[in-house]
A and B are shown apart, each in its own frame.
Chain A
């Protein structure tokens, strides 16, 4: 390592630079492909040799927003994801607090199991249930099933954050005459706000991106964006330009939210086992 270190260093730098380039190409390429296709005319898109230089057009975005009812689908996704996230927080925060403070680890195991069962297993009974009650294609059906994802995730993520809050802090507040509720609201909650933001954003992203439940349980009135995007490729003649524009519109919110909480994602998805 020491002998001939200058030559070695140059070699090493070349290797690392190559590595960085190789690592950067796949994510950037697919995005470049998607964004540029959204700005291409149908003729340019179907050119057998992909065109690098073309005249950009906003027609695809206009078409998607005006003709395809896409704003309606985005609204549906927004409503469902917001409710699924908010309900998960309202129910999940106290539960996580209780599990963390009173060491009810067995309940935590139940939550872990809930997160691991395949979606197909949940879908079939809910499909039968909602079909019987004529509730297919309602927000209620979609929010209920999205809770299967958001509630366990919120609880699990928050257990870790609550465990990190020292017991003494709250006890001190209570000795000073604070009620438990007040000490929770004024002392504990501010300390775990990173966790609350992370759970909210992760829940929102998972609900926003959810496909299978929405595919079966939504209909013309409550169709969400992932299903709407998928429907683009079920026609005989695929409108790739419109599809790319739609895909761009659905990816952007999730992408921005992901970049905001990239540090918390690790904790959220390993359920606190690895702290980012």
Chain B
């Protein structure tokens, strides 16, 4: 082995050491704060753990999981979660793209426009939930006041009393809260598109509608994909806003899967069952995470 090779190897070994020393503290903390609960959660899900009877924790295998798979309540909550996810994410995306296009026209005062639009995202979910709960209030909410003064309803409605309406109104609150984020992401991607393409399209006689469908949308594809997966993951684990606005009601109409997991754990105190449900949500989201990773590292993302 030549002298030079040995020197290089020595440097490389030292570099590797540096790399690990830098990562170690963060890695240890990550294993502790993130790894421990994940492992513990799996262990819990395989046992019958209840705070009502804390001294016996019999191993039950997959019974907790199988119970849920045979339980219509579980499947109903999966359905609601899917409905919430699909409707909120697709509307947020459509609205987000439209608003981002508007901002990107760089009209007079567009920076002000962008600043105002981001406001809802900065509002903590709790406050967001409470504000909308109040707007929907049956006796003195703004929604009733507005619709009545426009003559659309003759008397005040109890909006959150009907399961179907309640779900859609929670989705509306979520859209209000999250669309700004989509706007920010898409408008950042739009700003990075080259103007020359559009100039060429205009010369070729393309209408704005055509250049939107043929140029803008295909070029936005990576940003849209990222937003889609990011938002799907978040929507699928939605909890806070439902907890605040409807508390899962009425008649379980807004009981999504994270909410069910919360109830099992902290209301019924069946920790084993709660852990099994959390794991099911995690498993689904992990599949999405893998898709996300593949998308990020195979697409040439702008």
Contacts and interface: CB of A to CB of B under 8 A. Distances in A.
Contacts of B289: 112-113, 116
B197 interface: no
A175 to B, nearest CB: 13
B124 A125 contact: no
A232 B129 CA distance: 13
B47 to A, nearest CB: 12
A36 B277 CA distance: 42
Interface residues of A, number: 91
B87 to A, nearest CB: 17
A119 B239 contact: yes
B121 A91 contact: no
Which of B26, B44, B192, B281 has the most chain A CB within a 10 Å cutoff? Answer: B26
A36 B224 CA distance: 37
A180 B132 CA distance: 53
A230 B130 contact: yes
Interface string B274-302: 11011101100110110011001000011
Contact of B237 (A113, A119, A273): A119
Nearest to A31: B119
B120 interface: yes
A112 B237 CA distance: 15
Contact of B19 (A104, A205, A271): A104
A191 to B, nearest CB: 17
B130 A229 contact: yes
B99 interface: yes
Contact of A243 (B116, B130, B149, B239): B130
Interface stretch (B62-70, B72-80, B138-146, B159-167): B138-146
Contact of A262 (B125, B184, B274): B184
Given A110-B30, A112-B292, A262-B115, A95 B142 contact: no
A109 B125 CA distance: 28
B120 A27 contact: yes
Given A48-B139, A262-B118, A125 B40 contact: yes
A125 B149 contact: no
Contact of B135 (A33, A87, A269): A33
B244 interface: yes
A266 B184 contact: yes
B158 to A, nearest CB: 14
Interface of A: 1, 16, 19-20, 23-24, 26-28, 30-31, 33-34, 45-50, 87, 91-92, 94-95, 97-99, 101-102, 104, 107, 109-114, 116-129, 144-145, 147-148, 151-152, 155, 180, 205, 208-209, 211-212, 216, 226-227, 229-230, 232-233, 240, 243, 247, 250-251, 254-255, 257-259, 262, 265-266, 269-271, 273-276
7 contacts: A30-B131, A30-B135, A31-B119, A98-B22, A128-B44, A247-B130, A251-B122
